[in-house]
Amino acid sequence: MVITMNKKDISELKRRLKKETCTFTRMCGCYVDADRNKVTKIAETFLNLEDEEFFKYLELAKKVFSGNIGNQILELPFPAAEEETGGKQQFLMGLRESKLKNDELLDTFYDMVIDSYDYVGNYLILLFHDAYDVITKTSDNSKLDESEEVYEYLLCAICPVNLTKPGLGYRVDENRIGPRVRDWVVGVPDTGFVFPAFTDRSSDIHSVIFYTRDTKTPHSEFMEAGLGCEGKLTATEKKITFQNIVKDVIGEDNEESKVLFMDIQDNLNDMIEIPAEDDTEPEPVILTSDTIAGVLTESGLTEEQTAVIEKNYKECFREDLPTAEYLVDPKIIEANAKRKDRLELMGQVENLKQQLEETRTLPVSEEENGDDIPAVKTYDVILRVKPEKVGQIHSQIINGKKCLVIPMDEDEHAAVNGVNTTV
């Protein structure tokens, strides 16, 4: 069985990035301008940094562990060729063993990033080295005071550096409001990675943890050219790809196709297992082409439509199959629920109208009709009053017209055709 990283593995590493538990030994970096020039480099013993810098760098590092596995965080395995001499995995192994104290290896790493990272603008490459003494845990997750292994790893964060917007500010030296000085500010990481991966609380040198802030357009070129791994789609990309595959077949410009797509989303959503109360992660539902075909058929698509979508689904996702959770759009689920509620309400209104019409149309006895065939009489006025009011109703001629008179007390209210009225 292939063991992959999970939420607990990521959380365990992220929790350590605090002042009292952080064990980063060294931090290095390189500031790159828009022309891909190395402007300046930094190299620091991390724990010796002043608190203000320490916390800011720590926050940047922590961001690489942010997000959901499969979307912002991807596990990328190395191809066999990259684990041979001269491969990217072998290079990262050497960089890790140097503990970031080899300037030549660091320069090679910076060049590798600059050559493979497609970004317009300035950015800062940050690289951290850490050695985490993984404490043994018992089956009930109780910690024992002994080391299971030392997880030694590198954390890289690539952060955009942008010029602050122009504006007015208070100039202290001149005691006046004037143009604000514009600075180059380091933003949160756009891309990052951790090598080796941390799987089942242990080092996995055959994989790397990749981070992307933008899940719609991640830097797949860096996955492939920079890290030597095969590119992988984020959950967001898989959802968009699936939506395009389906809409290319059923269309999206008419109401019928929109309803079809909503029903597909509902049926996919029904497959997602609700997490148990004990906080254990439910087993994800992998959507094979056969599973998708079943969902499409259940949603009302024709055999021809289902066959085309199933074929395109296989070609697009191949071995990297999405889970049901990845393909469901919560906004569409919510919109479909509102649509169904609206249809149900409209149905109830129609039923009430029908009942009202049936109430207005009552049979007339044969004696009244004077015929052998029962007739139907439609009443122009139908009253519904409390039983105690029935005896108070009487007819009266007012202004030459016959009227029904219903006495009303001051605290009583009436509704005419469902509309409240005052008398």
Domain that holds residue 160: 7-166+182-232
pLDDT of residue 234: 95
Q: Which residue has the higher pLDDT, 21 or 382?
A: 21
DSSP 418: T
Tell me: pLDDT of 219 over 60: yes
Render the burial of 295-323: b for 16+ CB within 10 Å, e for the rest.
Answer: bbeebebeeebbebbbebbeeebeeebbb
Clarify whether residues 159 and 201 are in a common domain: yes
Under the banding of pLDDT at 50, 70 and 90, the label for residue 1 is very low
201 neighbors 137 (Cβ within 8 angstroms): yes
Q: Is residue 333 part of a domain?
A: no
Biggest CA–CA distance in the chain, Å, is 113
Statement: residue 31 has pLDDT above 50: yes
Does a structural domain hold residue 363? no
pLDDT band at residue 374 using 50, 70 and 90 as cut-offs: low
**For the residues 252-281, what does the mean pLDDT come to?**
82
Tokens matching residue 207: 């994989």
Contacts of 305 (CB under 8 A, 6+ apart): 249, 250, 296
Percent of the chain at pLDDT exceeding 70 = 88
For residue 405, the cross-strand partners are 394
Domain for residue 138, yes or no? yes
Looking at residues 76-104, what average pLDDT do you find? Answer: 95
The answer to whether residues 31 and 153 belong to one domain is: yes
Window from 272-276, 277-281, 324-328 with minimum mean pLDDT = 277-281
Question: 201 and 112 in one domain?
Answer: yes
Residue 264 burial (CB < 10 Å; 0-12/13-18/19+)? Answer: buried
Same domain, residue pair 104 and 155 = yes
Indicate the helix (H) or strand (E) that contains 133.
Answer: strand 122-137
Write down the pLDDT at residue 193: 97
The residue with greater pLDDT, 279 or 311, is 311
**Residue 158 and residue 280 share a domain:** no
Residues of the chain with pLDDT > 90, as a percent, come to: 57
In a domain, 148, yes or no: yes
Torsions phi, psi for 109 (to 5 deg) = -65, -45
* Residues 13 and 67 occupy one common structural domain: yes
Name residue, tokens 């689920």. 333
Residues 6+ apart with CB under 8 A from 78: 87, 88, 89, 206, 207, 208, 228, 229
Provide the CB-side half-sphere exposure for 343 (13 A, CA): 7
Q: Using alpha carbons, select from 12, 13, 2 the residue that is nearest to residue 193.
A: 13
Is pLDDT of 397 > 90?
A: no
Of 90, 120, 100, 102, nearest in space to 228 by CA: 90
| For residue 115, pLDDT beyond 80 | yes
390 and 298 in a common domain: no
pLDDT for position 372 = 53
Tokens of 110: 């910076």
**What is the average pLDDT value for the chain, to the nearest integer?**
87
Cα of 305 vs its chain's centroid, Å: 28
pTM equals 0.77
User: Considering only 127-131, 226-230, 347-351, which range has the smallest mean pLDDT?
Assistant: 347-351
- Provide the domain count of the chain: 3
**Are 225 and 242 part of one and the same domain?**
no
Q: Is residue 373 part of a domain?
A: no
The region of weakest confidence among 62-71, 218-227, 270-279, 376-385 is 376-385
What's the CA gap between 339 and 123, in Å, rounded? 46
- Under the banding of pLDDT at 50, 70 and 90, the label for residue 239 is very high
pLDDT confidence of residue 145: 60
In a domain, 338, yes or no: no
What does the DSSP assignment read for 45-101? -GGGS-HHHHHHHHHHHHHTT-S-BTTTEEEEEPPGGGGSTTSHHHHHHHHHHTTT-
More confident site: 421 or 141:
421
* Residue 64 maps to a domain: yes
> Alpha-carbon distance 130 to 55, whole Å?
16
Same domain for 246 and 205: no
Q: What is the pLDDT of residue 135?
A: 82
Stretch 156-168: mean pLDDT: 90
Mean pLDDT of 99-127: 96
Do residue 58 and residue 157 come from a single domain? yes
Lowest pLDDT segment from 48-52, 175-179, 372-376 = 372-376
Same domain, 51 and 64: yes
Residues 286 and 209 in one domain: no
Residue 207 lies in a domain: yes
Q: What's the rounded mean pLDDT across residues 300-308?
A: 93
